[in-house]
Amino acid sequence: AYNTPKQPVVRFKRNKHHKGSIYCVAWSPCGQLLATGSNDKYVKVLPFNAETCNATGPDLEFSMHDGTIRDLAFMEGPESGGAILISAGAGDCNIYTTDCQRGQGLHALSGHTGHILALYTWSGWMIASGSQDKTVRFWDLRVPSCVRVVGTTFHGTGSAVASVAVDPSGRLLATGQEDSSCMLYDIRGGRMVQSYHPHASDVRSVRFSPGAHYLLTGSYDMKIKVTDLQGDLTKQLPLMVVGEHKDKVIQCRWHTQDLSFLSSSADRTVTLWTYNG
Protein backbone atom coordinates (compact mmCIF):
# COMPACT_ATOMS: atom_id res chain seq x y z
CA ALA A 1 0.00 0.00 0.00
CA TYR A 2 1.29 3.43 -0.95
CA ASN A 3 0.91 6.46 1.29
CA THR A 4 -1.56 9.03 0.03
CA PRO A 5 0.64 11.83 -1.32
CA LYS A 6 -0.03 15.42 -0.32
CA GLN A 7 -1.36 17.78 -2.95
CA PRO A 8 1.25 20.11 -4.48
CA VAL A 9 0.82 23.85 -4.94
CA VAL A 10 0.20 24.93 -8.55
CA ARG A 11 2.78 27.64 -9.32
CA PHE A 12 1.88 28.37 -12.95
CA LYS A 13 -1.13 27.58 -15.09
CA ARG A 14 -2.27 28.70 -18.49
CA ASN A 15 -5.61 27.75 -20.02
CA LYS A 16 -6.08 27.48 -23.81
CA HIS A 17 -2.34 27.56 -24.49
CA HIS A 18 -3.01 25.48 -27.62
CA LYS A 19 -6.16 25.02 -29.69
CA GLY A 20 -5.83 21.23 -29.34
CA SER A 21 -4.52 18.59 -26.93
CA ILE A 22 -0.91 18.98 -25.79
CA TYR A 23 1.00 15.78 -26.58
CA CYS A 24 4.50 16.70 -25.41
CA VAL A 25 6.42 19.19 -23.33
CA ALA A 26 10.14 19.91 -22.89
CA TRP A 27 12.35 22.27 -20.89
CA SER A 28 15.47 23.78 -22.41
CA PRO A 29 18.67 22.74 -20.55
CA CYS A 30 18.91 26.18 -18.93
CA GLY A 31 15.27 26.00 -17.79
CA GLN A 32 14.36 29.30 -19.46
CA LEU A 33 12.27 27.95 -22.33
CA LEU A 34 9.23 25.67 -22.13
CA ALA A 35 8.21 24.01 -25.42
CA THR A 36 4.90 22.29 -26.12
CA GLY A 37 3.57 20.35 -29.11
CA SER A 38 -0.07 19.76 -29.97
CA ASN A 39 -2.49 18.14 -32.40
CA ASP A 40 -3.28 21.70 -33.51
CA LYS A 41 0.01 21.20 -35.46
CA TYR A 42 1.79 24.05 -33.67
CA VAL A 43 4.95 24.07 -31.57
CA LYS A 44 4.93 26.81 -28.95
CA VAL A 45 7.95 27.99 -26.98
CA LEU A 46 7.33 29.99 -23.82
CA PRO A 47 10.15 32.08 -22.28
CA PHE A 48 9.99 31.25 -18.59
CA ASN A 49 11.54 32.26 -15.26
CA ALA A 50 11.75 29.23 -12.95
CA GLU A 51 12.50 31.41 -9.89
CA THR A 52 9.28 33.43 -10.15
CA CYS A 53 7.35 30.72 -12.07
CA ASN A 54 6.18 33.23 -14.63
CA ALA A 55 6.27 33.61 -18.38
CA THR A 56 8.80 36.33 -19.23
CA GLY A 57 7.93 37.22 -22.80
CA PRO A 58 5.70 36.56 -25.78
CA ASP A 59 5.35 32.97 -27.01
CA LEU A 60 7.22 31.83 -30.08
CA GLU A 61 4.95 29.87 -32.40
CA PHE A 62 6.13 27.51 -35.16
CA SER A 63 3.88 26.05 -37.83
CA MET A 64 6.18 23.82 -39.94
CA HIS A 65 4.43 20.57 -38.98
CA ASP A 66 1.47 19.24 -40.95
CA GLY A 67 0.36 16.71 -38.31
CA THR A 68 0.27 16.13 -34.55
CA ILE A 69 3.58 16.86 -32.80
CA ARG A 70 4.29 13.72 -30.77
CA ASP A 71 7.62 14.58 -29.14
CA LEU A 72 10.00 17.48 -28.47
CA ALA A 73 13.55 17.65 -27.16
CA PHE A 74 16.07 20.44 -26.76
CA MET A 75 19.67 19.85 -27.80
CA GLU A 76 21.88 19.53 -24.74
CA GLY A 77 25.29 21.13 -24.52
CA PRO A 78 27.03 24.45 -25.17
CA GLU A 79 27.50 23.73 -28.90
CA SER A 80 23.83 24.49 -29.50
CA GLY A 81 23.58 27.48 -27.16
CA GLY A 82 20.85 25.64 -25.28
CA ALA A 83 18.04 26.76 -27.57
CA ILE A 84 17.97 24.30 -30.48
CA LEU A 85 14.60 22.52 -30.39
CA ILE A 86 13.95 19.17 -32.09
CA SER A 87 10.33 18.28 -32.91
CA ALA A 88 8.59 15.46 -34.79
CA GLY A 89 5.36 13.54 -35.12
CA ALA A 90 2.68 12.65 -37.64
CA GLY A 91 2.15 14.14 -41.08
CA ASP A 92 5.23 14.30 -43.32
CA CYS A 93 7.36 12.20 -40.88
CA ASN A 94 10.13 14.82 -40.87
CA ILE A 95 12.17 15.85 -37.85
CA TYR A 96 12.44 19.63 -37.60
CA THR A 97 15.21 21.56 -35.85
CA THR A 98 14.56 25.13 -34.77
CA ASP A 99 16.79 27.86 -33.36
CA CYS A 100 14.54 29.35 -30.67
CA GLN A 101 16.84 32.31 -29.98
CA ARG A 102 16.66 33.49 -33.57
CA GLY A 103 13.12 32.19 -34.07
CA GLN A 104 14.00 30.37 -37.29
CA GLY A 105 13.93 26.85 -38.68
CA LEU A 106 17.25 25.10 -39.37
CA HIS A 107 16.71 21.61 -40.85
CA ALA A 108 14.00 19.23 -41.99
CA LEU A 109 15.37 15.69 -41.60
CA SER A 110 13.57 13.11 -43.73
CA GLY A 111 13.90 9.32 -43.75
CA HIS A 112 11.23 7.78 -41.52
CA THR A 113 8.28 6.23 -43.35
CA GLY A 114 5.89 6.20 -40.37
CA HIS A 115 4.82 8.66 -37.71
CA ILE A 116 7.62 9.58 -35.30
CA LEU A 117 6.63 8.83 -31.70
CA ALA A 118 9.79 9.59 -29.72
CA LEU A 119 12.94 11.74 -29.75
CA TYR A 120 16.08 11.84 -27.61
CA THR A 121 19.15 14.09 -27.90
CA TRP A 122 22.68 13.60 -26.58
CA SER A 123 26.30 14.80 -26.85
CA GLY A 124 25.39 18.20 -28.29
CA TRP A 125 24.59 17.08 -31.84
CA MET A 126 23.09 13.57 -31.87
CA ILE A 127 19.38 12.69 -32.12
CA ALA A 128 17.65 9.31 -31.77
CA SER A 129 14.12 8.97 -33.16
CA GLY A 130 11.63 6.11 -32.77
CA SER A 131 8.86 5.55 -35.29
CA GLN A 132 5.79 3.57 -36.25
CA ASP A 133 7.92 2.32 -39.17
CA LYS A 134 9.53 -0.07 -36.60
CA THR A 135 12.96 1.58 -36.72
CA VAL A 136 15.14 3.85 -34.65
CA ARG A 137 17.24 6.34 -36.59
CA PHE A 138 20.35 8.16 -35.39
CA TRP A 139 20.91 11.64 -36.80
CA ASP A 140 24.06 13.78 -36.60
CA LEU A 141 23.33 17.51 -36.77
CA ARG A 142 26.91 18.23 -37.87
CA VAL A 143 26.15 16.52 -41.20
CA PRO A 144 23.02 16.98 -40.87
CA SER A 145 21.48 13.63 -41.85
CA CYS A 146 20.69 10.08 -40.74
CA VAL A 147 23.85 8.16 -39.83
CA ARG A 148 22.30 4.82 -38.79
CA VAL A 149 19.03 2.88 -38.98
CA VAL A 150 18.34 0.31 -36.25
CA GLY A 151 15.54 -2.14 -36.98
CA THR A 152 13.39 -3.93 -34.40
CA THR A 153 12.82 -7.08 -36.48
CA PHE A 154 15.43 -9.21 -34.67
CA HIS A 155 12.69 -11.53 -33.41
CA GLY A 156 9.61 -11.82 -35.64
CA THR A 157 7.91 -8.87 -37.28
CA GLY A 158 9.31 -5.97 -35.26
CA SER A 159 7.24 -3.30 -33.57
CA ALA A 160 6.53 0.44 -33.55
CA VAL A 161 9.02 2.27 -31.32
CA ALA A 162 7.14 4.41 -28.79
CA SER A 163 10.07 5.61 -26.67
CA VAL A 164 13.84 5.99 -26.97
CA ALA A 165 16.65 6.97 -24.60
CA VAL A 166 20.45 6.97 -24.65
CA ASP A 167 22.50 6.50 -21.47
CA PRO A 168 24.69 9.41 -20.24
CA SER A 169 27.88 7.87 -21.67
CA GLY A 170 26.35 7.65 -25.16
CA ARG A 171 27.05 3.92 -25.37
CA LEU A 172 23.66 2.30 -24.89
CA LEU A 173 20.28 2.89 -26.55
CA ALA A 174 17.07 1.71 -24.89
CA THR A 175 13.77 1.47 -26.75
CA GLY A 176 10.21 0.92 -25.56
CA GLN A 177 7.95 -0.73 -28.12
CA GLU A 178 4.24 -1.19 -28.75
CA ASP A 179 4.57 -5.00 -28.55
CA SER A 180 5.48 -4.63 -24.80
CA SER A 181 9.20 -5.22 -25.41
CA CYS A 182 12.29 -3.19 -24.63
CA MET A 183 15.52 -3.37 -26.61
CA LEU A 184 19.04 -2.55 -25.42
CA TYR A 185 21.40 -1.69 -28.28
CA ASP A 186 25.18 -1.15 -28.15
CA ILE A 187 25.68 2.09 -30.12
CA ARG A 188 29.46 1.87 -30.50
CA GLY A 189 29.45 -1.84 -31.32
CA GLY A 190 26.43 -1.52 -33.60
CA ARG A 191 24.62 -4.56 -32.22
CA MET A 192 21.58 -5.48 -30.16
CA VAL A 193 22.51 -6.53 -26.61
CA GLN A 194 19.10 -7.78 -25.50
CA SER A 195 15.37 -7.63 -26.22
CA TYR A 196 13.07 -8.41 -23.29
CA HIS A 197 9.43 -8.00 -22.23
CA PRO A 198 9.17 -6.07 -18.93
CA HIS A 199 5.48 -5.22 -19.42
CA ALA A 200 2.18 -6.67 -20.62
CA SER A 201 1.31 -3.81 -23.01
CA ASP A 202 2.87 -0.89 -24.96
CA VAL A 203 6.03 0.50 -23.34
CA ARG A 204 5.49 4.26 -23.70
CA SER A 205 8.42 5.59 -21.70
CA VAL A 206 12.06 4.52 -21.18
CA ARG A 207 14.68 6.54 -19.28
CA PHE A 208 18.12 5.78 -17.82
CA SER A 209 18.78 6.91 -14.25
CA PRO A 210 21.41 9.68 -13.84
CA GLY A 211 24.18 7.10 -13.19
CA ALA A 212 22.74 4.66 -15.78
CA HIS A 213 22.46 1.89 -13.17
CA TYR A 214 18.71 1.58 -13.76
CA LEU A 215 16.20 1.79 -16.61
CA LEU A 216 12.79 3.25 -15.76
CA THR A 217 9.89 2.01 -17.92
CA GLY A 218 6.23 3.01 -18.01
CA SER A 219 3.52 1.12 -19.85
CA TYR A 220 -0.11 1.01 -20.89
CA ASP A 221 -0.32 -1.99 -18.47
CA MET A 222 -0.56 0.76 -15.75
CA LYS A 223 2.75 -0.26 -14.16
CA ILE A 224 6.10 1.51 -13.72
CA LYS A 225 9.11 -0.78 -13.51
CA VAL A 226 12.85 -0.46 -12.94
CA THR A 227 15.36 -2.76 -14.67
CA ASP A 228 18.71 -3.18 -12.90
CA LEU A 229 21.50 -2.67 -15.46
CA GLN A 230 24.47 -3.18 -13.13
CA GLY A 231 25.19 -6.80 -14.11
CA ASP A 232 25.77 -8.64 -17.40
CA LEU A 233 23.40 -7.01 -19.89
CA THR A 234 23.21 -10.16 -22.02
CA LYS A 235 21.72 -12.19 -19.13
CA GLN A 236 18.19 -12.00 -17.69
CA LEU A 237 17.86 -8.59 -16.05
CA PRO A 238 16.46 -8.04 -12.52
CA LEU A 239 13.10 -6.26 -12.76
CA MET A 240 11.00 -4.59 -10.09
CA VAL A 241 7.56 -2.91 -10.02
CA VAL A 242 8.12 0.53 -8.47
CA GLY A 243 4.75 2.17 -9.03
CA GLU A 244 1.26 1.65 -10.36
CA HIS A 245 -1.47 3.92 -11.74
CA LYS A 246 -5.21 3.36 -12.17
CA ASP A 247 -4.93 3.76 -15.96
CA LYS A 248 -2.27 3.79 -18.72
CA VAL A 249 1.14 5.23 -17.81
CA ILE A 250 2.07 7.90 -20.37
CA GLN A 251 5.48 9.12 -19.28
CA CYS A 252 8.14 8.64 -16.58
CA ARG A 253 11.11 10.89 -15.81
CA TRP A 254 13.92 10.57 -13.27
CA HIS A 255 14.96 13.45 -11.04
CA THR A 256 18.24 14.88 -12.37
CA GLN A 257 20.24 13.99 -9.23
CA ASP A 258 18.54 11.42 -7.02
CA LEU A 259 16.55 8.21 -7.47
CA SER A 260 13.10 9.75 -7.40
CA PHE A 261 10.92 9.98 -10.49
CA LEU A 262 7.72 11.47 -11.86
CA SER A 263 5.03 9.59 -13.76
CA SER A 264 2.02 10.87 -15.67
CA SER A 265 -1.01 8.76 -16.48
CA ALA A 266 -4.34 8.61 -18.28
CA ASP A 267 -5.83 8.45 -14.74
CA ARG A 268 -5.26 12.25 -14.80
CA THR A 269 -2.56 12.28 -12.14
CA VAL A 270 1.12 13.10 -12.06
CA THR A 271 2.86 11.28 -9.19
CA LEU A 272 6.29 11.78 -7.61
CA TRP A 273 7.83 8.52 -6.37
CA THR A 274 11.04 7.62 -4.57
CA TYR A 275 12.97 4.50 -5.55
CA ASN A 276 14.68 2.73 -2.67
CA GLY A 277 16.54 0.11 -4.72
- Kindly state whether residue 7 falls inside one of the protein's structural domains: no
Same domain flag for 226 and 178: yes
- Kindly state whether residue 178 falls inside one of the protein's structural domains: yes
Last residue of a domain, one of 108, 127, 151: 151
Same domain flag for 138 and 117: yes
Quickly count helices (H) and strands (E) in the chain: 0, 24
Same domain flag for 99 and 146: yes
Structure confidence at residue 79 (pLDDT): 57
Whichever domain contains 40, its CATH number is 2.130.10.10
Instruction: Count structural domains, the chain.
Output: 2
Last residue of a domain, one of 116, 151, 186: 151
Last residue of a domain, one of 119, 151, 183: 151
- Kindly state whether residue 9 falls inside one of the protein's structural domains: no
Structure confidence at residue 8 (pLDDT): 85
Give the range of the structural domain holding residue 34, as residue numbers without chain letter: 16-151
Same domain flag for 172 and 268: yes
What is the pTM for the complete model shown? Answer: 0.93
78-110 residue pLDDT tens:
555 668 999 999 999 999 999 998 888 999 999
212-229 residue pLDDT tens:
999 999 999 999 999 999
Q: What is the dihedral of CA 236, 242, 245, 247, to 10 degrees?
A: -10
Share of the chain residues as helix, strand and coil, in percent rounded to the nearest 5: 0, 50, 50
Regions in the chain scoring below 70 on pLDDT: 1-3, 5, 77-82, 154-156, 277
* CB proximity list for 22: less than 8 A, separation 6 or greater: 36, 37, 38
If one counts every other C-beta atom within 10 angstroms of the C-beta of residue 174, the result is 26
Structure confidence at residue 153 (pLDDT): 75
